[in-house]
Structure 1
Amino acid sequence: MTTTYGITPTRLLTSEWHKLRTVRSTWITALTAAALVLGVGILMGATYTSGGGDADVDTVVLTLYGSQLGAIALAVLGILVTAGEYATGTIRATLTAVPTRTPVLWAKATVYTATVFALSLLTAFATFLTAQVFLDDTDQAASLTDDGVLAALAGNAAGVTLLGLIALGLGAALRSVPGATGAFVGGVLILPEILRTLPYETTETALRYFPTQAVGALGTATPIPGTASPGAALLALTLWAAAALAIPALLLKHRDV
């Protein structure tokens, strides 16, 4: 009797999780991201003095300054999850096994989201608590029970994860690690800074909902004037990520490997 193994969502997720955790670059980029966030957080806490130039900075923002660097490392991981398979040629075997194609993209996105959110949340909590050891006797002393702190830590993790999903979508669309990396750096990180120089009020308002600015709004315990509300920032980031994934999904249906 021959046993037939069909394609199921569970098996797809298991396959993508196996790929993610067994590739060396995953561990390198993940540990690099966590080390950057934790290292910068400890540095900020150890060198901070009350009444200094950062006295008016939100406590969560101060301790998680390294998230900007960590997010770039995790974005690279997102690009490698998709474009990396095109670079090695293993995507042909994957899409041969799953001829409907798009479930592969959704499985990659799901596994990446769960993994990166868990890592980012754990890193955010560890960094905040470690930095507070140094900040205990300063005007930046805070605890997890303070208003807005837990939401800001979770928001930071969600923002970093969604930013990485945008990178994952770019990798799947462009199918090139260098190309997707350049598009992410140029389009997501640099373009908003260029647009910021334009003397138009509408541009300034629109920039609040660009990915990097939305991430910043999600990771603050105290609302920052001139930024989007956490709810609006989360919605904007979700829409950016959805759009970034929708493009490669369409390309998978209408383009050869």
Structure 2
Amino acid sequence: MSTATATPPYRVTPARVLRSEWHKLWTLRSTWVNLVLTGALTVGMGVGISAAYDGTGEGGLDTVVFVLLGTQFAALNLAVLGILATAGEYSTGQIRATMTAVPRRLPVLWSKAAVVAAVAFALSLWTNLLTFPLAQSFLADTDQAAALGDPGVLRGLVGNAAALALLAVTALGLGAVLRSIPLATGVYIGLVMILPEVLRMLPYAVVDDAVRYFPTQALESLTAARPLPDRATPGTALLALALWATAALAAAATFLRRRDV
């Protein structure tokens, strides 16, 4: 006589957790507002600055960095998107339902990071590829004129998108550790934007060398079409940003496993 073993109708799998996190992100109104604002700021500033540029006074600023000055705001907007993906669930209490559905917890973190990184990279790359030719239509007769096929230009546009995606993941990790939207946002701004400028005032060469690998400086190195003086190479900058994101996710994973929801 055989005994049938009851099989649950649904199992928690990585694909299902990933699909759940994708669905949660896109059903939030804040996601749409954030992404539209990010794209609009990047395109608007790139086109606006290029239209107003008279060909003087920029001191040989890298063309891709010049056109993508709006990504300074995009970096903050996408960081907020990452923070909302984690800390936002703690603020609403939805995290309890999420962790009840996925008791192992860590697949939730990896899925959130993958979804945010994919969305941030796709949006940034699409926006960059739209902004650059639009801006160049105003820069044809200036020292900032360039084409997509010029050396380093396409790499800079793609590198910028990759850097913004990694910054969003870093912010996501901070949100998971701190579990507070205002606190995580403040720490991100202080660590990424303010601390490097403070450290630069210290009269030590080793500090200047270290600052090159902070997120905003690495972002600029990855965005530039040509190597910048006293900055990290694009490959080193990408590695530095990957390590920042990895460290943030590692801290988030540690806290997620050791603390109660």
TM over 0.5: yes
Aligned partner of 1:35 in structure 2 is 40
Task: Name stretches of at least 5 consecutive residues in structure 2 with no aligned partner.
Answer: 1-5
2:84 matches 1:46: no
Structure 2 distance, partners of 1:165, 1:89, is 22
Which of the numbers 9, 27, 33 marks the counterpart of 2:14?
9
Structure 2 distance, partners of 1:163, 1:130, is 26
Structure 2 distance, partners of 1:201, 1:54, is 27
Which of the numbers 171, 177, 182 marks the counterpart of 1:173?
177
Deviating runs (4+, > 6 A) in structure 1? Answer: none
Task: Describe the SS at the equivalent of 1:126.
Answer: helix
Which of the numbers 80, 90, 107 marks the counterpart of 1:86?
90
Aligned partner of 1:98 in structure 2 is 102
1:37 aligned partner, one-letter code: T
Structure 1 distance, partners of 2:7, 2:65, is 58
2:64 matches 1:60: yes
Q: Give CA deviations for 1:197-217 in whole Å, capped at 9, x if unaligned.
A: 001000000000011111110
Percentage identity across paired residues of the two chains: 58
Structure 2 distance, partners of 1:16, 1:155, is 26
1:139 CA displacement: 2.1
The answer as to whether partners of 1:55 and 1:139 remain within 8 angstroms in 2 is no
Q: Give CA deviations for 1:207-244 in whole Å, capped at 9, x if unaligned.
A: 00011111110000011110000010000100010000
Task: Describe the SS at the equivalent of 1:225.
Answer: coil
1:30 aligned partner, one-letter code: L
2:254 matches 1:250: yes
Task: Name stretches of at least 5 consecutive residues in structure 1 with no aligned partner.
Answer: none
Q: How many residues align?
A: 256
The answer as to whether partners of 1:121 and 1:153 remain within 8 angstroms in 2 is yes
1:187 CA displacement: 1.4
Aligned partner of 2:120 in structure 1 is 116
Aligned partner of 1:107 in structure 2 is 111
Q: Give CA deviations for 1:144-190 in whole Å, capped at 9, x if unaligned.
A: 10000010000100111111111110000000001101100111111
Provide TM-score, normalisation by structure 1: 0.97
Aligned partner of 1:155 in structure 2 is 159
Aligned partner of 2:236 in structure 1 is 232
The answer as to whether partners of 1:95 and 1:101 remain within 8 angstroms in 2 is yes
Q: Which is further off, 35-44 or 134-143?
A: 134-143
- Of the two, which has the highest radius of gyration? 2
The answer as to whether partners of 1:55 and 1:140 remain within 8 angstroms in 2 is no
Structure 2 distance, partners of 1:189, 1:62, is 19
The answer as to whether partners of 1:170 and 1:180 remain within 8 angstroms in 2 is yes
What is the RMSD computed on CA atoms of the aligned residues?
Answer: 1.1
2:221 matches 1:217: yes
Provide TM-score, normalisation by structure 2: 0.96
1:58 aligned partner, one-letter code: D
Structure 2 distance, partners of 1:15, 1:220, is 37
1:2 CA displacement: 7.1
Structure 1 distance, partners of 2:179, 2:251, is 12
2:26 matches 1:21: yes
Q: Give CA deviations for 1:102-150 in whole Å, capped at 9, x if unaligned.
A: 1100000001111110000001111111101111222211111000001
